[in-house]
Structure 1
Amino acid sequence: MFHASLNLSRPGRVVLVDQSSIADGGRYGRENGVLDHRRGPAGLQLAALLERGGQDYAVLERGSGPGTFFTRFPRHRQLISINKVHTGYDDPELRMRMDWNSLLSDDPDLLFTRYSERYFPQADDLVRYLADFAAATGVRVNYNTDVARISKNGDGFVALDHNGQSWRCQRLIVATGVSQLYVAPIPGIEHAERYDTFDTDPKSFTGQRVLIIGKGNSAFETADALVEKAAVIHVAGPHSIRMAWQSHFVGWRSCGSCTTTG
């Protein structure tokens, strides 16, 4: 636990951000089946490979379409996965090294670089791409299907959805990513605004002193978005910052006009 204070004698706000980073009807009975729970990029890629290989599988997705997470997150809508369109190379393998959004398929034209030329693209472009990828690869997905419980059944698994229907399989793959915001056990934390619900309009922070609790991607995403309007931004957390070149984890970066604590 760490303790932080913000002088609120002047207008101020506290925003809580996940310090660890932010992001299923019928019966499925074949014994060799694979059940893929959720359909973000990872689940969608796996489904496409299973489809290409003629495997017996089903995908359960809580949302109404692929990549539902990205219809809401990141909150400020800019991705941190690079999209280098003009690389100077003709070799597809070399070009893919600078394309961190495209999924793998047999279609050389089914690439994210055709959806945006932005180096850091918008999340809405990724949602469009994932929908088109799903349609082009013909993956089998059950939308609006929320898994309520998963249990072991002999040498397989049973997933019960919110409609009370069971899905049986021998292999179960959960591709849900991070599903809950981490709320640090800090006295008074209930007074902070949450990353998943706060007003992201930078104008609402005009002239204010802002404390952001958390030092992950979402924290610096928020700091970058508010830096033009906020008077002062403090980013606090229990650990020192590690830059991307140290952690090999994309997105860990600093905000030029922010101060960090911890």
Structure 2
Amino acid sequence: MTDKPFPPGRHPLVVVGSGPGAMQLTYCLGQLGVEHAVISADDAPGGMFRRWPIFQRMLSWTKPFASHEKATRAYERFDWNSLLSDDEHLRAIMPTVMDGTSYFPSRPEMEKGLATFAQRAGLRVRYGVRWESTRAEGKDFVLTTSDGEYIAPAVVFAVGVAQPWRPNVLALEGVQ
């Protein structure tokens, strides 16, 4: 596996981000056999957890001592922070990285949980790539990044918490 997968160029789909939404999406796309590239400005999964939540803990729980085995689908009711998978070794990762002082994971615990999932699932992301702008060209979108241009007919922005900002996309003019 290369340290810098998904070089600039044409891809069937580009996912921007490396937080929980992007990691869950790239895992599911991979399970479905959908080719895609993943780029992220961060240097590891879960970069948003280096800044948010400002009070240091999630508002959603992970209960390590629930009445169901952790590798079961039933346990997901008690663990709202682990990513989902049909593969037992990818389920219920959060309770294994939490220190046990709270049912609500801390920012570092969330980061570690995402990194563990990404590593175990073999998720590939091109880290250190900052998205700069998007423009439409025919039926494609062209993403300008710090590494160069990515071209795809479909793009998913899974960037988590962000400051309000209107991207420079011509097709969005007049959209509220």
Same fold, TM-score > 0.5, yes or no: yes
> Counterpart of 1:21?
none
Aligned residues between the structures:
155
Q: SS at 2:143's partner residue? A: strand
Aligned pair partner of 2:158 in 168, 175, 187:
175
- Cα deviation code 1:61-112 (max 9, x no counterpart): 0010110010222223111110111111348233101211011123323321
Deviation at 1:142, TM superposition (A): 0.7
Q: Which residue number in structure 1 is paired with residue 84 of structure 2?
A: 104
1:24-173 alignment runs, 5 A limit: 26-30=7-11, 33-90=12-69, 92-110=72-90, 111=92, 112-116=94-98, 117=100, 118-163=102-147, 165-173=148-156
Normalised by the size of structure 1, how large is the TM-score? 0.55
Take 1:90 and 1:177, find their aligned partners in 2: how far apart are those partners? Answer: 30
Q: Which runs of no fewer than 5 residues in structure 2 stay unpaired?
A: 1-5, 166-176
In 2, Cα distance between the equivalents of 1:93 and 1:151? 41
What is the 5 A alignment of 1:177-216? Answer: 177-180=160-163
Q: Once the 2 structures are TM-superposed, how far is the Cα of residue 168 of structure 1 from its aligned partner?
A: 0.7
Structure 1 residues 136 and 89: CA distance shift in structure 2, 3 A = closer
Instruction: Could you list the structure 1 runs, at least 4 aligned residues long, displaced by more than 2 angstroms after superposition.
Output: 25-28, 89-94
Q: Identity across aligned pairs (percent)?
A: 28
Name which one, 1 or 2, has greater alpha-carbon Rg. 1
SS in 1 for 2:37: strand
Q: Provide structure 1 residue ranges, at least 5 long, that are not aligned to the other structure.
A: 1-24, 183-262
Conserved 8 A contact 2:48-2:161: no
TM-score by length of structure 2 reads 0.80
Instruction: For residues 32-62 of structure 1, give each alpha carbon's deviation from its aligned partner in whole angstroms, at most 9, with x where no partner exists.
Output: x110011110001001111222221011100
Q: Is the 2:46–2:111 Cα contact (8 Å) retained in structure 1?
A: yes
Inter-partner Cα distance in structure 1 for 2:73 and 2:123: 25
Q: 2: distance between equivalents of 1:179 and 1:84?
A: 29
RMSD across aligned C-alpha pairs, in angstroms? 2.0
Secondary structure in 1 aligned to 2:67?
A: coil
**2:116, 2:69 → 1: CA distance?**
24
| Aligned-partner Cα distance in 2 for 1:147–1:181 | 16
